[in-house]
Amino acid sequence: MGRNLTKRSEDYSKWYNELVVRADLAENSAVRGCMVIKPYGFAIWEHMQTELDKMFKDSGHSNAYFPLFVPKSLFEAEEKNAEGFAKECAIVTHYRLENDPENQGKLRVDANAKLEEELIVRPTSEAIIWNTYKNWIQSYRDLPILLNQWANVVRWEMRTRLFLRTAEFLWQEGHTAHATKNEAIAETKQMNEIYARFAENFMGIPVIQGTKSESERFAGAVETYCIEALMQDGKALQAGTAHFLGQNFAKAFDVKFANKEGGLDYVWATSWGVSTRLMGALIMTHSDDQGLVLPPNLAPHQVVIVPIYKGDEQRQQVLKSAREIKEQLQDVGIRVKLDDRDTHTPGFKFNDYELKGVPIRLGIGPKDIEKGSVELARRDNLTKSFVSQEAIASHIKNLLEEIQQNLFDRALSFREEHITEVDSFEDFKKTLKDKGGFVSAHWDGTQETENRIKQETKATIRCIPIDNPSENGKCIYSGNPSNQRVLFAKAY
């Protein structure tokens, strides 16, 4: 159990890999780079989906579904986008298998069933969607189109890690079409803001909103907004992006509309997405050497009750109390599990739920019943206390809110402690090496400088924070003038 996990201080990467598998979140599959998301991990993802879906719908978006495949000729239409994804595409070339005459019981690709045009398994859906929007948009009355889809996408990554970088992953991708540039930019900012609220309020992950430098932009975007989170090992993680696509896709797919004045304009576009990568952010923000730590909002079980007894008589008595407590908690909307399995010891269960990050564990035995109390263990700070069974539901409801807030506050303190302003390249390198985190520094705005800093330090510009104060200074690398600081970090 938790005890046998590699310690974070020993090998953070190994700790992460072990935790994902042993907390039953996901595992590698027989398909190179593709993961199996296990029921416990998937239940967490479902909570994210439900909340995000609600936020999207509350802001006027609807769901739809577009094909998994993109014909090559459509894929290559927007050149920058195509160039960005061409090197990591799974490609369908045939549509039939046949019996292998040389291998009894085996199959081989039927050479006669070659597709006339290859199909790309979508790495992202701008191309297929804008080719569709072309037929939906004639006039300004058809705008805006505000759609989202929940889907799987495939990017053939060479080095994969569970949740963080997998060949297939699950995500949502919003694709909107607008009559004006300003409206599209407002939509992009709104969706980035929604992601930030979701990450902070629902997942307990503090994020910095900003825009990307040109070299970190989405392929085909005019501007990429992002939310950047900081992991416990001092590396940043891009947790969501919203792209202002300008008229690039409208031009590539010839999507024009009759405007109010009677003229013909190209349509303005945005796209935005978050993925199962958020599971990685979740783990590396809150968890500890004992295992996963879940914010109550995301926990499949917010409370687990473990009965402690010897013999059948005690068992009946303890289970009766445990069931009463369970009902009281359920009645106020708490997700609670009573683990009444007779095949495992309380000690085993304690360790297992600790490993799996259940926010509150209640232990109840004969002595507790006598005293009218239960033992309560908090997963976030590993403290234990005895609480009265009276009014337990409202006590726990409040405590869950407190834990949710505590996890955010703790992560925020850590993040604030790990934003370091530096004014020289020496300090820059030293900070990255000794402390990690975000390094706030002046940059001359050129790709060349950005690339050199990356080559020398592996740090990249994570974002230019929105509402960044203007400040005159000198680029830490080139010494050239700069009018604002940007945030650098090593990143996942």
Best CA proximity match to 17, nearest among 3, 6, 33, 9:
6
> Which CB atom, from 9 or from 103, has the smaller least distance to a second copy?
103
Q: Which is nearer to a second copy, 54 or 367 (CB)?
A: 54
What minimum distance in Å lies between the beta carbon of 340 and a second copy?
15
Mention every residue, 6+ apart, whose C-beta is less than 8 A from residue 114. 93, 94
Burial letters 249-273, b for 16+ CB under 10 A, else e: bbebbebbbeeeeeeebbbbbbbbb
Task: Compute the least distance from the CB of residue 475 to a second copy, in Å.
Answer: 34
CA distance 264 to 139: 9
Whether the upstream peptide bond of residue 144 has omega within 30° of 0, thus cis, is: yes
Question: Shortest distance, CB of residue 169 to a second copy, whole angstroms?
Answer: 10
- Residue among 83 and 324 whose Cβ is closer to a second copy: 83
Report the nearest approach of a second copy to the CB of residue 71 (Å).
6
Nearer to a second copy, 25 or 293 (CB): 25
Closest approach of Cβ 244 to a second copy, in Å? 23
Burial class (CB in 10 A: 0-12, 13-18, 19+), 49: middle
Q: What is the number of alpha carbons within 13 Å of residue 119 lying toward its C-beta?
A: 13
Q: How far is the CB of 381 from a second copy (least distance, A)?
A: 29
Q: Considering beta carbons, is residue 12 or 171 the nearer one to a second copy?
A: 171
b/e string for 26-45 if b means 16 or more Cβ within 10 A? bebeeeebebebeebbbbbb
Residue 91: how many other CB atoms lie within 10 Å? 13
Residue 429 CB, shortest distance to a second copy, in Å, is 35
CB of 411 to a second copy, least distance (A): 27
Query: Would you say 88 or 327 has its CB closer to a second copy?
Result: 88
Token readout for 457 is: 């330090």
Measure the CA–CA gap between 233 and 491, rounded to whole angstroms. 10
If the CB atoms of residues 35 and 441 are measured against a second copy, the closer one turns out to be 35
CB of 124 vs a second copy, minimal distance in Å: 14
Structural tokens at position 444: 């001359």
Closest CA to 457 of 485, 426, 482, 481: 426
Choice between 118 and 183, CB closer to a second copy: 118
Residue 343 or 472: the one with the smaller Cβ distance to a second copy is 343
Closer residue to a second copy, CB minimum distance, 119 or 422: 119
State in angstroms the smallest separation of the CB of 238 from a second copy: 22
- Which residue stretches of 241-391 are H helix? 248-252, 277-286, 311-331, 346-355, 366-371
Q: Which is nearer to a second copy, 71 or 365 (CB)?
A: 71
- DSSP-derived secondary structure for 373-403: EEEEEETTT--EEEEESTTHHHHHHHHHHHH
Structure tokens at 160: 């994969």
Nearest approach in angstroms of CB 260 to a second copy is 12
Residue type, 365: G
Question: Which residues contact a second copy by CB under 8 A?
Answer: 29-31, 34-39, 42-43, 46, 62-72, 74-76, 79, 82, 86-99, 105-107, 109, 118-121, 128, 131-132, 141, 147, 151-152, 154, 156, 168, 170, 343
DSSP letter string over 426-480?
Answer: HHHHHHHHHT-SEEEEE--S-HHHHHHHHHHH--EEEEEETTPPP--EE-TTT--
Pairing assessment for the beta strands 208-211 and 460-465 based on DSSP bridges: antiparallel
Q: Which amino acid is at 135?
A: N
